[in-house]
Structure 1
């Protein structure tokens, strides 16, 4: 019997996910919400048609278990890759200021003709990265062991 994975199934294991459509991308979006990344850890390789980010991802999938066990919430370094990227551009992000840290709020997809479209990475503080893609081809892969979140708190969004 095959059943869908549940959010909490991630538990203690490193995540390795692939998104090939807009629905898949919403799962990755939920997992990278509140991830932080230095601008210097983002790159676009036009020859390989690849956009990559090395995120410090908040482990949303582990919050309930951490709180139930009385342990600290965690972050983990994660690579987020987008392949088949035709064009990448940003707004409100100075690529020369490599030490600036930005926070990811959401990933969205706006469909175009014949499977093409635009992936938008919305950043806190009115920043955004737009990726024109031939098709959705995103990979999320945890690459380090989890570590205690420096704030020791679950991120919140005050209205």
Structure 2
């Protein structure tokens, strides 16, 4: 019997519904990574709760699902939105960072991808920065928090094209 995927959007996939998903394997994490690509993460909004074996962060997630082609939806002034999103990893034993100055709480990181393998989850950011979580198993929960806000900036990965990720 096939396993039911852990990716379950909250309600329908409508524009006004907050995202609420979880990832328990690599296939799930691939979907979650697509939702989180280009999220802006302030260093001040990350915390390792060692007593709870939990790593948490709040990001400004770009809502790729509402206008992936850049068209303006009916009743909207701008084609794009961001929303605050809580991200939680359970079963975390250790957290290591590379290319991140944890003494600079104002530093903003641009999340590019998530990877999982051999007891580690890597959060890969622009500028060759990484957070590595040593985990018992993959358990990631993602939930939109609050009301989305409009932005005219769409993240871009084309060489030579600059995008303001802090929109």
CA distance in 2, matches of 1:141, 1:129: 20
Number of corresponding residues:
149
Partner of 1:155: 155
* Unaligned ranges ≥5, structure 2: 160-167
1:104 to 107, 111, 115: 111
C-alpha distance in 1 between matches for 2:115 and 2:48 = 18
Which residue of structure 1 lines up, in the alignment, with residue 21 of structure 2? 17
Please give the TM-score of this superposition, normalised by the length of structure 1: 0.87
Q: Answer whether contact 1:12 1:62 (CA < 8 A) is retained.
A: no
Q: Which residue of 2 aligns with 1:39?
A: 43
Write the deviation string for residues 52-99 of structure 1: whole angstroms up to 9, x where unpaired.
Answer: 110000000011486142631100000010000011110000111001
Change in Cα spacing, 1:100 to 1:128, as seen in structure 2 (3 Å) is same
Q: Secondary structure at the match of 1:23?
A: helix
CA distance in 2 between counterparts of 1:105 and 1:65 reads: 19
Q: For 1:137, which of 131, 136, 139 is the aligned residue?
A: 139
Q: Which of residues 53, 56, 61 in structure 1 aligns to 2:60?
A: 56
Runs of 4+ that moved beyond 4 A: none
1:56-75 mapped onto 2 (5 Å cutoff): 56-64=60-68, 67-69=71-73, 71-72=77-78, 73-75=80-82
Q: Which residue does the alignment assign to 1:125? A: 127
TM-score (norm 2): 0.83
Q: CA deviation at 1:5?
A: 7.0
Instruction: Tell me which protein shows more helix as a share of its residues.
Output: 1
Distance 1:84 1:5 in 2: 21
Query: Does the 8 A contact of 1:10 with 1:61 survive in 2?
Result: no
The aligned residue for residue 148 of structure 2 is 146
Unpaired segments ≥5 residues, structure 1: none
